[in-house]
């Protein structure tokens, strides 16, 4: 299974015994949307709802830090996602949050994971059928496992900035990156990490919400000043849209690391250096 699958491919695979489809839509509560309720009103047949807002470390004030491996495995089992499953993720979020679910699943040991290109919007635009209500779930075994080689913490990022041993790529908007726009989080400085490059996450998508691929995708990263042959760490505001850049790099055969605390940690920490301007 490719990392990026089409609506035609998924429609043909629905019902396969090893296939699990997951709605990974997440939006900020301030939008007034309720992704869980939206899921019940209409989802791809057989899909389960992964609540990313709850699938996090609740022992920290940071918004979207990875949960423990044990918590993650328990939630996956309760969703019927287990060892040997082929997992296809989709979302209906402006932040393309299925990429965050993809990154988490890979971090916790699931490798046969794909994203539906264009998400639920494309599926609906093509007039494909939706199911309503909740799906009946059967627990499946999900092995507790964590591989954090692709995760960076605050101390590691301080070393990256000091040494320049990896490129830092920020997925936030240009105005947030330069500091022209104030950070929405209280007591969080504006700006970016010293030496960071900026590629707003929307830059790796086509107008219809599908991912750019091939030369178009490669050009998006290179135009942002990224050398694809050198190590890369992605970051954003809370670790969500950084995942879209990590997935885009994966499509190009490049496995980037991700700074999980992102700007909500770096920008609020008094010991870190911040830069404003382009």
Positions of E strands within the chain: 4-5, 19-23, 48-49, 86-90, 113-116, 151-152, 167-170, 197-198, 232-235, 257-259
What letter does residue 210 receive in the DSSP assignment?
A: P
Write down the CATH superfamily of domain 4-146: Rhodanese-like domain (3.40.250.10)
Q: What is the average pLDDT score of the chain? A: 97
Catalytic residues: 236
Strand-pair category, 4-5 with 48-49: unpaired
Closest CA to 168 of 97, 274, 66: 274
pLDDT in tens, 47-79: 999 999 999 999 999 999 999 999 999 999 999
- Give the percent of the chain with pLDDT over 90: 95
| Six token digits for residue 111 | 């490798």
Report pLDDT for 236. Answer: 98
- pTM to 2 decimals? 0.97
Architecture of domain 149-266: 3-Layer(aba) Sandwich (3.40)
pLDDT classification of 101: cutoffs 50, 70, 90: very high
Stretch(es) of the chain classified as CATH 3.40.250.10: 4-146, 149-266
């Amino acid at each position: 299974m490719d990392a990026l699958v089409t609506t035609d491919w998924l429609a043909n695979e629905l019902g396969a015994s090893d296939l699990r489809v997951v709605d990974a839509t997440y939006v900020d509560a301030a939008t007034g949307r309720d992704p869980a309720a939206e899921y019940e009103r209409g989802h791809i047949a057989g899909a389960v709802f992964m609540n990313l807002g709850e699938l996090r470390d609740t022992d920290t004030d940071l918004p979207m830090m990875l949960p423990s491996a044990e918590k993650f495995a328990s939630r996956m089992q309760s969703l019927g996602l287990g060892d040997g499953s082929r997992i296809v993720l989709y979302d209906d979020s402006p932040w393309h949050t299925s990429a965050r679910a993809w990154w988490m699943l890979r971090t916790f040991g699931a490798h046969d994971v794909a994203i539906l290109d264009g998400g639920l919007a494309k599926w609906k635009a093509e007039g494909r059928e939706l199911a309503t209500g909740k799906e009946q779930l059967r627990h499946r075994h999900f092995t507790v496992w964590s591989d954090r080689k692709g995760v960076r913490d605050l101390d590691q990022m301080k070393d990256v900035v000091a040494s320049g041993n990896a490129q830092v790529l920020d997925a936030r908007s240009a105005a947030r990156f330069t500091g022209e726009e104030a950070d929405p989080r209280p007591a969080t400085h504006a700006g970016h990490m010293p030496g960071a490059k900026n590629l707003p996450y929307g830059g790796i998508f086509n107008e219809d919400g599908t991912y750019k691929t091939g030369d178009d995708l490669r050009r998006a990263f290179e135009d942002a000043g990224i050398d694809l042959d050198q190590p890369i760490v992605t970051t954003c505001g809370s670790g969500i849209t950084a995942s879209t850049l990590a997935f885009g790099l994966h499509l190009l055969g490049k496995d980037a690391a991700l700074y999980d605390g992102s700007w909500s940690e770096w920008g609020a920490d008094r010991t870190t250096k911040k830069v404003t301007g382009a």
